Amino acid sequence: MDLDQLLILLKKKGYKTTPQRKTILTVLLEQKDNLLTAQGINLECIKHKKNTNITTIYRNLELLNEFDLVHKVISDDGTAHYKLKCIENHHHHLICKGCGKMEVIDYCPIKILENLSESKSFTLTDHKLELYGYCKQCN
C-alpha cells in the first residue's frame, strides 16, 4: 500500500487530502516496521521541512486507528507508538528492558520462544501476550 492508495481509501470515507495528512502518511510509510511516537512523527515532519502541529498528528493517528490502519503499541512508560498496518507482514517485537529499543521479529507467536535467544542474541526475561477481540457480552 502506497501513499496514493491510502489517500484514496480515506477519500472514499469522506476524508480530505491535505498536505499535513500527506506528510504524516509519508513519514509513516518511510518508517516501515519502525514504531514511532507522535513526537517522533513530529520530528520526522520537521526533517521534511513540513512542520505539522502535534494536535494534527494526534488527530490523524486517531483517524488511522479508527479504520484499523495503524498498529498502536503502548510501551511501559505509557507512550503510544505507531506504525502502519498495511506494510507490516505480521510479526512482533523484542523490547529491550535495558534501553527500550524495539526490534522487529518476523515470525508469529507460536514456537518462537525457544530458538529466539541464540538467533538474535537477545536474553529473554519476560513476555507478554495480549489477545484482543470481543467477549460474549460484546459480541
Instruction: State the residues that interact with DNA by CB under 7 A.
Output: 11, 14-21, 37-39, 51-56, 58-60, 62-63, 77-80
Q: Is 90 annotated as a binding residue?
A: yes
99 makes contact with a copy of itself (CB under 8 A): yes
Binding mask 43-62 for a copy of itself (x = CB under 8 A): --------------------
89 burial level (CB within 10 Å; 0-12, 13-18, 19+): exposed
DSSP state of 28: H
- Shortest separation between residue 135's beta carbon and a copy of itself, angstroms: 4
**Sign of dihedral through CA atoms 106, 112, 116, 117?**
positive
Given a contact cutoff of 8 angstroms between Cβ atoms, the answer to whether 27 and 6 are in contact is no
Q: Is 135 annotated as a binding residue?
A: yes
126 makes contact with a copy of itself (CB under 8 A): yes
> Please, which residues have CB within 8 angstroms of residue 100's CB and are 6 or more apart in sequence?
75, 76, 77
Picked from DNA, a copy of itself, none, the partner binding residue 21 (CB below 5 to 8 A depending on kind) is: DNA
Amino acid at 57: I
- Residues of this chain that interact with a copy of itself (CB under 8 A) are 72-76, 78-80, 92-99, 101, 103, 105, 109-111, 113, 116, 120-139
